[in-house]
Amino acid sequence: MGFLNYTFDWSVLWRHPYGGMFLDGVFTTIHLSLLAWIITMPLGIAIGICRVLPSRAIRFGASIYVQVFRNTPFLVQLFFWYFAAPLLLPKPAQEWLYNHVPDYSYWAGVTALGTYTASRLAEQFRAGLLSIPRDQYRAAYSTGLTTFQTYRYVIVPYAFRIIIPPFTTEFLTCFKNSALTMTIGVMEITHTAYYVDSFTWHGLETTTAASLTYLFISGCVVLFMWFVEKRLHIPGMIARGR
């Protein structure tokens, strides 16, 4: 079998300089995802709300955003931000970008990831808002609460609990998509695994380590969100599966 021709060398994972590279890769993945998420949350929620506002123009604009970003592959968007977007800027801005922003690929990655995930989040948020029965609003208004009070005390706390699972899923998707930024040169986990292989020919160990890292971090996020959900749980509200 092929195993005979392959000697495992797990020390590539911690040996100098590779150990350091791996750690850097892990941190890069984490802060890239978090920065993208900082863009995504407000943008996604805003667009989600725009999708349900009374003004047709606003609704239409928001749905264009969502359609465009959802129906093109993330990789294409990434390439667009990295290769094409700077060319649309006026010459002086372009020069500044190329000469004064180190790690331009990192920032292109953050922008692409942020805007892409925002479109997905917008849809989840909209679904969450729409799932609240109209009678909830009616009940609140009938006791004399103003629109603002209704949203503040009744709707938002209710919606918040509904959207936690989809938001968690979207964050994890964002986290996994960060791996794609390797195509424009960002040294996150997957790229590091590939890179180390090109020096050591031990790609199997590196990709296994990378896989376990993703699984571990995803697992931590899921555990944390499960804990948060439990704390915020309203008895009898959302039926859990059998």
Q: Does 63 bind other proteins (CB under 8 A)?
A: no
Question: Smallest Cα–Cα separation from 103: which of 181, 5, 21, 23?
Answer: 181
Q: Which of 79, 137, 151, 195 binds other proteins (CB under 8 A)?
A: 79
Give the interface segment with other proteins, choosing from 67-75, 110-118, 137-145, 153-161 (CB under 8 A).
67-75
Integer Cα distance of 113 and 36 in angstroms? 6
Q: Which of 12, 122, 129, 182 binds other proteins (CB under 8 A)?
A: 182
Nearer to other proteins, 50 or 112 (CB): 112
Q: Which of 34, 39, 46, 75 binds other proteins (CB under 8 A)?
A: 75
Q: Does 5 bind other proteins (CB under 8 A)?
A: yes
- In the window 137-176, what residues touch other proteins (CB under 8 A)? 172, 176
Q: Which of 54, 92, 102, 241 binds other proteins (CB under 8 A)?
A: 241
Binding site for other proteins (CB under 8 A): 1-3, 5-6, 67-68, 70-77, 79-80, 83-84, 87-88, 172, 176-180, 182-183, 190, 193-194, 197, 203-204, 207-208, 210-211, 214-215, 218-219, 241-242
